[in-house]
Structure 1
Amino acid sequence: MSVDKERPAQPQEATFDAVAEFKKLTAGTRSGGVYMPPARLRALQEEAAKDKTSPEYQRLSWDALRKSITGIVNRVNIVNIKQIVPELFNENLVRGKGLFARSIMKAQAASLPFTPVFACLVAIINTKLPTVGELVLVRLVSQFRRSFKRNDKPVCVATSTFIAHLVNQSVADSALALQIIILLLERPTDSSVEIAVGFMKEVGAYLSEFPKENNLLFDRFRAVLHEGAIDKRVQYMIEVLFQVRKDQYKDNPMIPEGLDLVEQEDQITHEINLDDKLEVQESLNVFKFDPDYLQHEQEYKEFKSEVLGDDESESDEDGSDSESDDGDAPVQEKEGIQDKTETNLVNLRRVIYLTLQNALGYEEAVHKLLKIKLQEGEEIELCNMVVECASQERTYSRYYGLIGERLCKLNRVWYDCFEQAFGNYYETIHRYETNRLRIIAKFFGHLLASDAISWSVLEAIKMNENDTTSASRIFVKIMMQEMNEAMGTKALAERLKDPDVRQHCKNMFPTDLPKNTRFSINFFTSINLGVLTLEMREHLTNAQKLLMEQLRIRTATRMIVEVEAEVSAHGEGAEAERVIVMLVVGMIRDHGAPVERLLQVLANDMTIHLHRKVDGLARRGGMSGIVAVCRALLMTDGALRLANRFEGTRVLGPHDEMIEIRDMGEGIIAVAGRHRGDEGMGGSIVILAGSFDGCMRTRKQSISFWLGR
């Protein structure tokens, strides 16, 4: 009889039940912060991802959102706040606004010196999501009231400091700050007064814009000090507060440098009073199932794309392009099809902008920019984007100047592109508002001062009244001042004296017309760079002298021609002699004795011709005519020869005057005469031929000068 032996049952393979595992791991917990082995967590995530509307998937995404927001808030500081903000907006702040409020309040309480940074972060979020900023402020006010009633000094100090900086950032109204100080000083104790003093130091610079309310608060501080009911240490703190006010809060600025990132008109101020009924919405801190989860996620994704620009659409377009290329390759080979929507150009600019904003330093930014694949001719777009990003800042950042300098010194291509950009921006500088104009000028001033680009770009600047506008003059002013600050006045002046640089700057320092020269001198003098105009001033002085000499030459030449014409018209008698004397005396009267230097450049044939006239007059005894022609010639050598020939001769002039030729020495030829009758020219006549210095010395010897009637 065979007995069947019982075989042991085969163990069945254990099946992974994700729902049961999820309930087991999260049962009895509020935050879901239990440890899960990595393998089990991955299996759970894979199972939950199959149905994104399931509670399990939403719970996992909630935990991920909580950890991500907490990590981002804990990493923020004054240096990387511009990079943190886009990361924070990438998270669903509408769903996780309770998590954000709780995380930032915990982080601020743990590190009070970083309170201005956290307040700036809340201010930036508040401009796009006012409900998030309002929730943070409501929770802070509620926590302050609760801690004040419980005499919890550390919490009260932390919350009041946070509220003070939110008032400085215009997230909270100034009335809230006044109510807090009044509450703290209503029944003064050592702790309440100490908190009030610290609060006033933080918010005092902002409240100083309201003189009436500010004076009332300090009167209350003064009354508390005079009452003397508080400790000596706290009294000393009040005295220090008055000194801080006297120093205009120089050590407690309203907004620290680097955190003024929100425009005043963009900020939304919440009017919350200290005694309002507040809803802190604690339920937002815990997970709740959302039946419309996918719809809400899609709405936030659209909001995020409006604020930051969604990169997913770009990747989707790339994926669709690749699919179309695989499925319909011949379409790409057609000629004549051009993309006029500039989609690629917009995407390129977006990549450049995000690269510049996310880099920690200029070296990292340049390294990433050089990795961007550019088509031929797109290099200028990168240069333009660097300048445009720099101009969008509130003030000039040296970060962008160093990027431009490094690019120019790395490759000749960027060198040429930035030079081209200089010309383009100078021609269109009138289109930019004043702040952007100043930043662009400082940017190119940095490139020129560091020799990143050639100074030949200054050829585009024509410093005259017709070719400049108010915008272009402001551009040149800021650029030159930036170069002067970077190089020093002496080095800048020496560089502009370099022959190569001077050739390129001839339009900026013009010497073609006195009007343009004076305009350039006045412009550079007005911007405290008058040292650059010394050569132009010297040129202008010499040019004026040269113009006067040219005018005298033309006038004297015309007078001599008139003398010849009169002599020819009246013959060679006494009447001709009288006309010659009158013309020459008039010429000397109108143009002065130094005309001789100008007339010495006359042609030799004219000189010989007039010598013949003199000889003809001398043979007939017309000594006044001889002297007149002598004076008309004003040739020192010729006049001396005539004087030696006729010295001491006395003749009767055409108006009954006695005329005598005298050699006064030092190249001076004088003709002295005195009238016998009552009519005529009268007095003594002295007509000189010689140097002006000699004439002056002769005058000191009491020889009277008479030049005309």
Structure 2
Amino acid sequence: MSTQDKTEEVLQKENWERIASHINFVVEKLDGDSVLDSFQSLFAVNLVYGDRLLVDALSRKAVENSHSIAKIAALVGLISSRIRSVGSLLVEDTVLRFLTAFRANNARTCYASARLLSQLFNYGAAHEIVVLQVLHLLTEHINPHSVRLTMEILRQCGRDLLAVAKSAHDLVYEGLRTYFQDSKTSYELRREFEALFELRKREYSGVLPKIQLPSYEPQRHVYMIDFEESQSVPERDPQKFVFDSNYDAKEEAFESIRSEIHFSEQPKEKFSEVVKIEDKTQSDNLEFKKKIYLTLKGSLSGDEAAHKLLKIRVADRNKKILVDTLIMACSQETTYSKFYGVTAERLCSSHKSWKLAFAQSFKENYNDMDTFQATQVRNMGKLWGHILASDYVGMDVLGAVHMNAIETTPAGRVFLKFMLQELVLDLGIAELKCRLEEPWVQPFLKELFPVDDVEKTRFSINFFTAIGLGPLTEVMRQTLESEKLTIQDQNSKPYNEEFDEADESDGGNEDQTARTWEKFNRRRRARILEVKDNSERGDSRLRSRTPPRRRRSRTPTRRRSRSPPMSR
């Protein structure tokens, strides 16, 4: 090798080390920086020459920190639109890492590679064929581990896969459904499967949105998996320097790409992320409430209204708004209509997320009951009585009620009256009592049926007795009676102890036998007096029970005829 070649190799190696150091620095800061800032920083060095260094750094970052995978995929999508080799190399490296980890049962690398591959597809760096090949590999010999991986991939990229390959997307779900129907799986795995199907039913509305990026032309790369041969990551060290004879050509290519995007001339503000505009007027919220209200008013029955509302596919964050709108519409009626109770019952039976929304609304309604008018309080009480009677919303919501003179309001007590009376109307007093005595609900009813404070207990007993629900207070009445007996015993105990102490102190200098006889005589005299008093009381009772003498009636028993006797 000539001297010129040696000098060129030294320069290349120095440049290689500088590129590696810069790439590692930018990738390490990727969590705190924005994607566009990292994109701009990376183009300070020759990425055409250091593409393998970048791919290796990003792959290691994805395995170490799974939270940064979406940012890595977005960054690669932007870079791959300019430098195709970066996207192609990363897709190939990710697939090979996944296959190697899958065969070696390396769960951490396997899940990280599957998530990265899914996000690369979302941001236009990987073709859907790559994802479908991986899904085919997982579902070919299906088992609990491959099922979890399949569900993770569908959670990550199911929305985009449904848009470009609906038939293949549905086929994967059918395979999962068949597996869960024919196999005995764990409870946790079945719950994950149900949650995934619910996510698909909502068209993946709960998935995190993509990172906002400027418009770019995605370059999707395909890597074909050979299922017959064992493919693995080639044994090479990307960090090891290798002399490149095409270094000058790569420098020219990079300068050409860099001049096209004009990084040196463009200010940094131009690449700032898109600012999300927040609507302070709540116009979207008002439009949503209006839509729900018109849907309720345009329905002939509660079943029809619930069917229409479920077809809207309301997001979880908006379900409470719908519940509040339903309750307000019910409160504005002249009299209570079971239309709203049936609608609420059908909504709660459709999914557990509705139960959470109704439970949250109950607490807010009860705390704000003073702001409603009398008719509204009555209608709302009957509506909540219907909902609780259906048992789709548990009695644990009554934990918000503190039955005492300080923490309750007149409007709140009227609300509870109509709610409990509606419960009795639907269930009967015996069934309601059984529901309230279930063991799991007792911690939530400590304040509604208090037993630790005499004043609160008496107040609660008086309230339930006044509204005609006295049978619900039996436990409190027994507690109150036992509390009274305890107080009487405590008051009588010091009196007896005083006499015993006096007896002991008086006979300090006398003989023990004399003290014993004195105590015996005192108790005998007290017993004789007690028997005498009881006998006198018994005689007085007997005298009081003697029937009074019957007074002679002044009215004759037989009325004499005033007409003179007839002469013979």
Q: TM-score of the superposition, structure 1-length normalised? A: 0.36
Instruction: Give the greater-gyration-radius structure (CA).
Output: 1
Q: TM-score, normalised by structure 2?
A: 0.44
